[in-house]
Amino acid sequence: MTPTLLAQLNQLIANDEVAKFYQWKQWRFLRSRVRKKYNNECQRCKDLGKQSKSDMVHHEKSVRDYPELALSFDNCKPLCNPCHNLEHPEKFGKVKKVKKFMNEERW
Ligand SMILES: [Zn+2]
Ligand SMILES: [Zn+2]
């Protein structure tokens, strides 16, 4: 991540336009390298002994909180969509759903 790119990324975050980062050629290039390294396999499924093709590449430390790591190879891993949703409970409202489910179970 060069200082120029980091400044641009910080600007996107300030403007709430992080989605634009995912169109950068630097990100596309990194993403394809990450997928290749992990054979395009979901790393969470792999940890669970399953084999799934990855649907996307996830940032371990979020772009918003750690913009300086947005283009760091080690901060990225491929995941399938279901696993990616689990990594972002805040975004998909999973936490609430799980709680509700647990309450229903109990009663
Ligand atoms: Zn998975
Ligand atoms: Zn993610």
* Average of per-residue pLDDT across 48-55: 97
Q: What is the pLDDT of residue 101?
A: 52
Counted domains in the chain: 1
Full domain range(s) for residue 70: 3-106
- Please compute the mean of the pLDDT values over residues 36-57 and round it to a whole number: 97
pLDDT for 106: 52
Place of tokens 């669970």: 48
Q: How far apart, in whole angstroms, are the C-alpha atoms of residue 28 and residue 14?
A: 22
pLDDT digit string, tens, across residues 4-15: 999 999 999 999
Neighbours of ion ligand 1 (CB under 5 A): 42, 44-45, 52, 80, 83
Percent of the chain's residues with pLDDT above 90: 80
Please report which residue ranges of the chain form alpha helices under DSSP H.
Answer: 3-14, 25-37, 43-47, 81-87, 89-92, 94-106
Judged by its nearest atom, the ligand closest to the C-alpha of residue 90 is: 2
